[in-house]
A and B are shown apart, each in its own frame.
Chain A
Amino acid sequence: MGCFDVFHDVGKTLKIRGLPAGLGLRAAVIALVAVMLAMPYVYGFDTAAAREALRADLTYLKNVLAEDGGVKLGPPNSLRAEALAGLAAARIHLGLGDVESLQVLDRLAERVRGRVLTGDGIDIGFKTGVDVYENFATHLAAFQLLAAHYGLTKDRASRDAGLKVGESLEAAVGWSPHNSRAGFLILASTYSLNSGGRPETDDVKTAVEEFDKNFYDIVAYSTAAYPNLIQSLSMLSHLMRVANAAGIEPTQELAALWTVHIDYVSNSTEVKEASDYYLASAALTALVDAAENTHASYSSKALEEALALAEKLGKIYMVGDRILQHTHPAAYVMLIDPAIPAERVFNEYADKRVEIVDLTLPANIARLSKLADVSALEKVLELALERAADVQTYYRLVPGGVTSSEEFVNRQLRIQFLSTVLAVERAPAARLRSDILQIILQTQPSFLIAATLLILLAVLNRVGVLTGD
């Protein structure tokens, strides 16, 4: 017991020095306690307001639900409106992880996929040629909602309907990394990863094979235009991430293509004038997607570029405590407004621009905060959170008169931001939860029995049932 003697000596010394004139020691103890008290507040953002705001958005969303199962948005019986509302519910559920939002999501997803399968409000395969633009926009919205629903709930029915929409998109506008069946599976897997779940191995395998098969399509798509390059980088990054989570090795060609995309996006993104803001912030999103692949060594390059770009954008994001408006394509907000006919968005407003308050930069900073030190950029995130997380009403991101369903559009944009911030915060706990639940419910159920009996014994012992009598 030699080690104990040492402790005894230390104890004695402490006692001799401590008891008679313990002032120094006491001061040291008080100082330590003060340090400990100050420490918990060093990191973390105040997300309570964000949660409250999302709950307010959910209340709003419940109010637009119509009694017949549809929504009171846009033209009557609009499938696009239902899908967009469902997407908002999916994002709220991603952020809050609660039962209430799940019920709204389930209800809307069920309705949308039912209509997709029967071809009600959507022309699968673009056979009739009637109102092609509206049909395309409906495709996009349904695609997004079904991917989110399948990813968050693993409901196979949504998978089937979503793949059908993806197939129809492939046939109508050609194969692209995001508007394809493989894109659907990747999107869904990313949702389940972000909500703390695990992607389905088979889905990821299929997606990897599809991407590998369409290798030259990806190259052709990316080289066609700069925005396409950004989209491809996002999709390739998601693919790499879900493949890693599912324990699947993407082919070397795809991995190489991914690194090339990181380089191209890094090299071709510039922030020289105000009009560069929109594309640069989209590029930032793609670079953050890439940087989240922390298992791949090249993600450090993406992270470096993302941090540099975020800093550049952060400088023009706000003045004092005022968030500036930035130029975005009109379609960016109009496509999420079901009341504006898609035909007008694609024709009349094709080249129009609108000045709106952007929330993707702060969302990306929240994601970056889990990968690197972003203390220099925290002001952006804090200001955006403070402004956007208004519980009483919605924060006006889009100037009045631009959209018809003003409240819906504004709320949708902030839901996207707040749910990203909350999902990033919740992710480690959500992953822990799903891992442990998987263990104690599926692989080691005896743990539940043993733990329950042990707690029961402890409580009975404590209240004296076992020791008394």
Chain B
Amino acid sequence: MAEPSPKTGAAVTLTGLVMAVAGIILGQTTPPSQVSAELANISYILVYDAGPAVASFGVGWLVSGLRPLRKYYLYSGVAAVYISFTSFTLSILLNFENLPAAASTLLTLTYSAGPSMLLSSALAGVVVNRRVRKAGIKPSPNPHETVLDFFIMVALYIPLLPALGSPLFYLRYLLPAAVTFLVWHTAAPKLALYLLSRRKAEIVLAEPPKAEETTLFNVLSRSYIPMAFGLGVVTTVASVLDLLNISLFRGGPLEATADAAFLAAVATAAGSLYVGPVAWLFEDSGVRLYDRARRIMRQPSIHSLADEMVEIYTFIFSPIALTFALADGDLALALILLGLSLHLLLTISFTATYLYLTFSAKKHLETLIMQLQARNLARPLHG
């Protein structure tokens, strides 16, 4: 696969534009005969779907190719999210009943331009990273990597703008995010300390604590854990109750999905302390458990059962099974509902993770190490 380059990007963009123009010409010159319906359809797809999709893929590739090693693909990725979400929100907020062309353009931006630019950014990311790994060099950081996570967090809330007036928005999105963050902020070091103090093995401060940087991918990959945990717990509980013939969710498919996602948010708020911040504190603190008898040193970890909860199996299969049940076996509806609930949960866990990594993580690491030393629970590696 070729490395993203501005030249290829420009060529692809041009191809897309040519396709759109061809579509316009086709639409203008269609003779009013029997085949015109088919042709009109093709011309519509070229102008409003295929053309813009190819062009925006090219633009994304072009941007990524400007400075491939400085992760410029992150810019096109973030831009793609903004394009999709903003035009989606505009199509809800604005009334285009008398302006079909404007409505079609917004649809194009939401469903064609945005996703294909995101795809080009993701592809560029994969290509660049493979190349970097093969060449054995370390890519230089993107100058804005620490701000882009904030932009993504804001972007997640854009589709919710029309719901600002509804109390459900605050209940289902803001409250769970705030509660999750507060629980993490108040209890994470205490729980980590308590868990470490119960270990029989000797605790060694092997490495200096190093807080995770708040870059886009760090926040994204870490926010995945609480989200998957919340989903895993709810789907497991719901499927057990289902075996007992107790249905947890009432109302139509939308309400039921909202309830399921909401319970997952509650589970995230209440239970993700352990799989989230505590696990991160273990990871970042540089602490090792030393088993004197077996002479091995290992990283403290959380219980394997909790780990399983966030495994890929839980993440991919259970939500699909759940939404599938709620959608009464309707695959298309199940996928739509899955998308909606993932957006809800990702928004919540992304916000909480961002807040935690930005405002609590460092302090918590310090507190943890200080407390471990103050209580004589840990000793330095060579001391």
Q: Is the CB of B112 within 8 A of A25?
A: no
The reply on A399 being an interface residue by CB < 8 A is no
Does B250 lie within 8 Å of A46, measured CB to CB?
yes
Instruction: Assess whether A47 is in contact with B266, with CB atoms less than 8 Å apart.
Output: no
CB of B115 within 8 A of CB of A40, answer: no
Contact with A along B258-294 (1 / 0, CB 8 A): 1100110110011000000000000000000000000
Contact A457 B122 (CB under 8 A): yes
- B12 within 8 Å of A (CB atoms): no
Q: Are A51 and B363 in contact (CB under 8 A)?
A: no
For residues 226 through 271 of chain B, which have their beta carbon under 8 Å from a beta carbon of chain A? 247, 249-256, 258-259, 262-263, 265-266, 269-270
> B333's closest neighbor in chain A, by CB?
A433
Partner of B328, one of A18, A98, A463: A98
Of the 9-residue stretches A268-276, A304-312, A401-409, A424-432, which lies at the interface with chain B? A424-432
CB under 8 Å from chain B, chain A span 44-65: 44-48, 51
Q: Mark contacts of B71-110 with chain A using CB atoms, 8 A cut-off: 1 yes-contact digit, 0 otherwise.
A: 0000000000000000000000000010000001001100
Residues of A within 8 A of B258 (CB): 40
Max chain A Cβ within 10 angstroms of own Cβ: one of B116, B252, B254:
B252
Contact B336 A45 (CB under 8 A): no
Pick from B49, B254, B336: contact of A445, CB under 8 Å: B49
Shortest Cβ distance from B363 into A: residue: A15
- Are the C-beta atoms of B247 and A4 separated by less than 8 Å? no
Chain A residues with CB under 8 Å of B49's CB are 443-446
Contact A444 B48 (CB under 8 A): yes
Give CA–CA (A36, B170) in the complex, Å. Answer: 11
Chain B proximity of A229: nearest CB distance (Å):
33
Assess whether B336 is in contact with A436, with CB atoms less than 8 Å apart. yes
- The 8 A-B pairs with the shortest beta carbon distances in the complex, nearest first, are A44-B251, A425-B252, A450-B115, A444-B111, A446-B53, A44-B250, A40-B259, A429-B253
- Residue A216 is within 8 A (CB to CB) of chain B in the complex: no
- Is A324 among interface residues, defined by CB-CB distance under 8 A? no
Cα-based distance from A462 to B311 in the complex (angstroms): 10
- CB-CB under 8 A from B10, the residues of chain A are none
Could you tell me if A425 and B251 are in contact, using CB atoms closer than 8 angstroms? Answer: yes
B163 within 8 A of A: no
Chain B interface, >50% SS class: helix
Contact residues, B150-195 vs A (CB, 8 A): 171, 175-176, 179, 182-183, 185-187, 189-190
Residues of A within 8 A of B263 (CB): 37, 40
CB within 8 Å of B: which A1-56 residues: 4, 7-8, 11, 14-15, 18-19, 22, 25-26, 29, 32-33, 36-37, 39-41, 43-48, 51
Residues of B within 8 A of A47 (CB): 250-252
Q: List the A side residues contacting B333 at CB < 8 Å.
A: 429-430, 433
Q: Is A453 in the interface zone, CB < 8 Å from B?
A: yes
A454 and B182 contact, Cβ closer than 8 Å, known pairs A443-B104, A444-B111: no
Residue of A nearest to B45 (CB): A445
**Distance of A192 Cα from B319 Cα, bound (Å):** 30
Given the complex, which residues of A lie within 8 Å of B44, measured CB to CB?
443
Size bracket, chain A contacts: 35 or more
Beta-carbon nearest neighbor of A463 in chain B: B312
State whether the Cβ of B297 lies closer than 8 Å to any Cβ in chain A: no
Residue in B104, B186, B247, B336 whose CB lies within 8 Å of A19: B186
Q: What separation, in Å, do the CA atoms of A385 and B186 have in the docked complex? A: 46
Minimum Cβ distance to chain B for residue A386 (Å): 14
Name A446's closest neighbour in chain B (CB-CB). Answer: B53
Kindly state the separation between the CA atoms of A46 and B127 in the bound complex, as whole angstroms: 51
Q: In the complex the two chains form, what is the Cα distance from A296 to B255 in whole Å?
A: 27
- What CA separation (Å) do A308 and B352 show in the bound complex? 47
CA distance A429 to B328 in the complex (A): 12
Tell me if B360 counts as interface (CB < 8 A to partner A): yes
CB-defined interface of B7-49 with A at 8 Å, one 1/0 digit per residue? 0000000000000000000000000000000000000110011
For B259, the chain A residues whose CB sits under 8 A away are 40, 44
**Known contacts A46-B247, A443-B45; can you find 19 more A-B pairs with CB under 8 A?**
A8-B359, A15-B363, A19-B190, A33-B270, A36-B176, A37-B266, A40-B249, A40-B262, A44-B251, A425-B252, A429-B252, A430-B333, A437-B332, A443-B49, A445-B49, A447-B112, A450-B53, A450-B115, A466-B129
Q: Is A75 an interface residue (CB 8 A)?
A: no
Which of B182, B247, B249 makes the CB contact (< 8 A) with A29? B182
Contact B118 A4 (CB under 8 A): no
**CB interface residues, A 233-250, toward B, < 8 Å:** 247
The verdict on A377 contacting chain B, using a C-beta distance below 8 Å, is no
Q: Which of B123, B171, B330 has the most CB of A within 10 A?
A: B330
* Residue A214 interfacial (CB < 8 Å): no
Interface status of B59 (Cβ within 8 A of chain A): no
Contact check: which of B48, B122, B255 meets A43 at CB < 8 Å?
B255
Q: How far is the CB of A356 from chain B (nearest CB, A)?
A: 29
Query: What residues on B are CB-neighbors of A372 within 8 Å?
Result: none
Complex contact A4–B358 (CB within 8 A): yes
Scoring B112, B190, B355 by chain A CB atoms within 10 A of each residue's CB, the highest score goes to B112
Q: Is the CB of A454 within 8 A of B112?
A: no
Q: Judge whether B126 is part of the interface by a CB distance below 8 angstroms.
A: yes
Whole-angstrom distance from the CB of A468 to the nearest CB of chain B? 10
A451 touches B115 (CB 8 A): yes
Q: Are B358 and A32 in contact (CB under 8 A)?
A: no
Residues of B close to A29: CB separation below 8 A:
179, 182-183, 186
Q: Which residues from B are CB-within-8-Å of A445?
A: 45, 49
In the bound complex, do residue B359 and residue A461 qualify as a contact, i.e. CB atoms below 8 Å apart? Answer: no
Check B115 against A466 for contact (C-beta < 8 Å). Answer: no
Q: Nearest B residue to A22 by beta-carbon distance?
A: B186
Q: Which residues of A contact B372 (CB under 8 A)?
A: none
B262 touches A7 (CB 8 A): no
Q: Name B112-133 residues within 8 Å CB distance of A.
A: 112, 115-116, 118-119, 122-123, 126, 129-130, 133
Complex: chain B residue closest to A36, CB-CB? B266
User: Given A15-B363, A436-B336, A444-B111, does the pair A426, B175 have CB atoms closer than 8 Å?
Assistant: no
Closest-CB distance, A197 to chain B (whole angstroms): 14
A322 to B86, CA, bound (A): 54
* 13 A–B contacts from the bound complex (CB under 8 Å): A7-B359, A8-B359, A36-B176, A37-B263, A43-B255, A443-B44, A443-B48, A444-B49, A446-B53, A450-B53, A454-B115, A461-B126, A467-B129
Measured in the bound complex, the distance between the Cα atoms of B108 and A439 in whole Å is 10
**Interface residue from B176, B252, B363 paired with A426 (Cβ < 8 Å):** B252
- Cβ contacts under 8 Å, B253 to chain A: 425-426, 429
B183–A98 touching, CB < 8 Å: no
A33 and B179 in contact, given A428-B254, A432-B254 (Cβ under 8 angstroms)? yes
Please tell me if the beta carbons of B252 and A427 are within 8 angstroms of each other in the complex: yes
The answer to whether A440 has its CB under 8 Å from any CB of chain B is: yes
* B111 adjacent to A447 (CB under 8 Å): yes
Contact A26 B336 (CB under 8 A): no
B312-A36 in contact (CB<8A):
no
Contact A18 B186 (CB under 8 A): yes
CB distance from B194 to the nearest CB of A (A): 14
